[in-house]
Amino acid sequence: MIVSKWYPKNGRVIFHVDMNSFYASVEMAFDPSLKGKPLAIAGNPEERKGIVVTSSYEARKYGVKTTMPLFEARRLCPDLIVMRPNFERYRTASKEMFKILADVTDTIQPVSIDEGYMDVTSCAEQGSPPEIAERIQQRVYEELDLPCSIGIAPNKFLAKMASDMKKPMGITILRKRDLSNKLWPLPIGEMYGVGEKTAEKLKKLDIETIGDLANRPVLDLKRLLGINGERLQNRANGIDDRPVDPDAVHEFKSIGTSTTLAQDTTDDAEVRTVLRRLSKKVEARMQSKEVLARNVQLMIRYHDRKTVTRSKQLSEFIQHADDLFNVAIQLFDQHWNQVPVRLLGVTATDLAEKSEVTQQLDLFNYEEYAGKEKLYKAIDDLTEKYGHNPFKKLSSPKDAQVTTSFQKDFLDDFKKE
């Protein structure tokens, strides 16, 4: 029997479905002999820049964590099994998972390859929310051999927090009346939306728990964090009016990529080579999404892990690797402190769709721009004629592969199926 209290007349019922240790779980489903063993998925296991992407719960018992350098993970867990990521395998599993969610409701908002929100407010005929969640969890496990946790709440923030409260294979209900005993005692660093740096700032105000944040005078928070302080306090008090938006899957704010160097370097030529390669990757992804950028951001991480991020706002939109590289190297020359570099990143921001941008040309840049445009058009025409870019062989083909931000690319393709 359906209990009406589960479906309030003026409220919503939101699920947050979160796959547990997704990449590792997919590999275990593909090869059952891996089950019960400490497993880590990592890029470039043979190189220093190998970083743990995710790990099984068996590996986590040893302290293996996401983003941990692989050499450290192996030190903590000598028997660790390490596998390279198989993105096509994960993409296929994710699509099957979202198909199961779509059997319940069309109001689904994927937020990454392994998690998404569902609005089940109109699904009363299918049972109570806990019953629906249990059926979803069972289907995902029985049909795909994958575990997931589900948070049930009146809004997205609380649903997200709830799904993290019991893993793996948990179903957690978090109502507003439960805040004081379930949410507020949690450390402030465990609050969704509070990163490490923000947590450090809040702790300087003696805000150690989510409850401390919820009950702090809002003016204190706005002085410290600006408008974000008020937004975080609203979340801590269970206030979140954001709808589950299926169209939000198409939104993205930046396109970027980074790489950890094989060795720390102060070699200017090597830095330029890396920045040019990164710029080509960003260009490839911008072209696939048909967007232009008016801001370029450079990230430099030094040998001691200190990270510096600098950006430049441009007077006009750009889209080509040469333009991205020119801005990135200019930023590097301005802000590099001569200390050995460990990691470099290039990001295009302030994006706009090509179809919506009108190039504002003035007397000073018209001739230069027009000349470039003829060249780009000629290349595009030849590409269309021969089915590939005939000039690609002049540079390394690998440089322009779309190989980064797999999560964002997955979301961009989600609704094309």
Residues 260 and 44: beta-carbon distance below 8 Å: no
Cα dihedral sign, 193-196-197-198: positive
Cα angle 106, 110, 112 (rounded to 5 degrees) comes to: 165
Contacts 24+ apart (CB under 8 A), 29-33: 29/93, 29/144, 29/145, 29/146, 30/89
Can you spell out the DSSP letters for 148-207?
EEEEEESSHHHHHHHHTSSTTT-EEE--GGGIIIIITTSBGGGSTT--HHHHHHHHTTT-
Cα angle 171, 173, 174 (rounded to 5 degrees) comes to: 140
Catalytic residue, chosen from 47, 115, 125, 131, is: 115
For residue 368, CA distances in Å to 61, 92, 361, 397 come to 59, 45, 10, 28
Is 119 annotated to bind a ligand? Reply is: no
Q: What is the C-alpha separation between 58 and 78, in angstroms, rounded?
A: 13
For residue 51, CA distances in Å to 28, 257, 265, 399 come to 20, 15, 19, 21
Q: What is the C-alpha separation between 134 and 121, in angstroms, rounded?
A: 16
For residue 58, CA distances in Å to 26, 36, 73, 262, 333 come to 15, 7, 13, 29, 45
Can you spell out the DSSP letters for 35-46?
TTS-EEEES-TT
Q: Is 115 a catalytic residue?
A: yes
Q: Rounded to the nearest 5°, which phi and psi values hold at 319?
A: -150, -15
Cα dihedral sign, 156-162-167-170: negative
Is 114 annotated to bind a ligand? Reply is: yes
Q: Rounded to the nearest 5°, which phi and psi values hold at 280?
A: -65, -40
Residues 293 and 333: beta-carbon distance below 8 Å: no
Residues 165 and 174: beta-carbon distance below 8 Å: yes
User: Which residues define the annotated binding site?
Assistant: 18, 114
Active site residues: 115
* Binding-site positions for Mg(2+): 18, 114
